[in-house]
A and B are shown apart, each in its own frame.
Chain A
């Protein structure tokens, strides 16, 4: 229970700081929106069936905007010196990881919630698909933020920290992007769940396994 309170405190702190500045959410939102608009216009001109490309566009927008938030997560703390304050507290490193990871996931989910309706409108997708797309977005976001938080903590101690995160993270999250795109496409094509169950399982297993591994390794990467 105490651990839960501390996880909540870390999330609330990050949220309160973000609400004061809006620097991270603002950048993530504008970036995600730009990706969707640009791809939409580009495919309207060139692709015959833009709906077939829509899942890919959605996940490029989510992944790249998520990367912006993840890269700022620890850099912000490090630059302001508050990372040491956090590490100085008598709190298990795993609690800090979960607080930061869930905070990062929350920011990406907020962006998901804003861009999904825009995506549905621009790509002419039935609104009935929205709840299923939202569920896939949440599962994908958890996978992205789990590993992303670990690598963000790892990269923060390096010189090329903002460049290093995407280089480290993108190869590892290929299963998340692939399965999320396949699942989103299945929702748009109204395929039976049985046909994409293996992709769903892959996404859930990735979230659990890589979330647990990130939790375990966080202690080693966060200290110098």
Chain B
């Protein structure tokens, strides 16, 4: 579903991604861990078409991201540590706006269903800025799922959430038919990565240095590998 070949991203003379190659199968949940500055967010931004690669190719369901970003955008849902919403508008207004941009059929019904699923219907008229951080992140998930995308990109979605809110977020994501979607999640939380990922990749210095498959994933093995590759020098 996601095919990354020799991906390079440079900001001036600083090369963030150094020929990264990765394949994520349809319906697979992959987590990506790595230290700060490893290139996780840069990779997610390229996959979300928010940033252009310097070199290399990214295919999303066979669609070349650089050549046809419009088709790719229809296939992507992004949840990051920012909500990507207008916090002066209500949760419902935000979702209805994006439903129009994504040509969602029966937008009002879809928006109501998602707000109910995320437990936000009781506050659907309130401005987003009055929501707690956990509620804002649940609304961000609703926005990402609005057009039912086959690919879900989660860029440190648990940032700034307390343990309870992070667990609620995890539960809601599990309810979101994840088996039918291809998911790439970046996180600093190894516990979260080990519990969720069908495959965990460790990204260090713009390159995948290790991959651990489902059968081998335990928190202990992940910690050991992470410390081996990503420990500060």
Residues of A within 8 A of B (CB): 2, 5-6, 9, 12-13, 16-17, 20-21, 77, 80-82, 84-92, 223-224
Contact = CB atoms under 8 A, between A and B. Distances in A.
B51 A224 contact: yes
B50 A9 contact: no
B73 A89 contact: yes
A90 B78 CA distance: 13
B76 interface: yes
Given A81-B85, A87-B49, A92-B70, 5 more contacts: A9-B100, A13-B86, A13-B89, A88-B48, A88-B49
B27 interface: no
A81 B84 contact: yes
A13 B73 contact: no
Contact of A5 (B51, B70, B100): B100
Interface residues of B, number: 29
B50 A90 contact: no
Nearest to B81: A81
B50 A87 contact: yes
A85 B88 contact: no
A9 B93 contact: no
A84 B82 contact: yes
A106 to B, nearest CB: 17
Nearest to B48: A88
11 contacts: A5-B100, A17-B88, A80-B85, A80-B88, A82-B85, A88-B50, A88-B73, A88-B76, A88-B84, A90-B70, A90-B73
B103 A2 contact: yes
Contacts of B143: 85
A81 B45 CA distance: 13
Given A16-B93, A21-B88, A223-B51, A85 B98 contact: yes
B89 A17 contact: yes
A14 B82 CA distance: 20
A2 B102 CA distance: 11
A212 B48 CA distance: 28
Nearest to B84: A85
Nearest to B49: A88
A49 to B, nearest CB: 46
Contacts of A13: 86, 89, 93, 97
Contacts of B76: 88
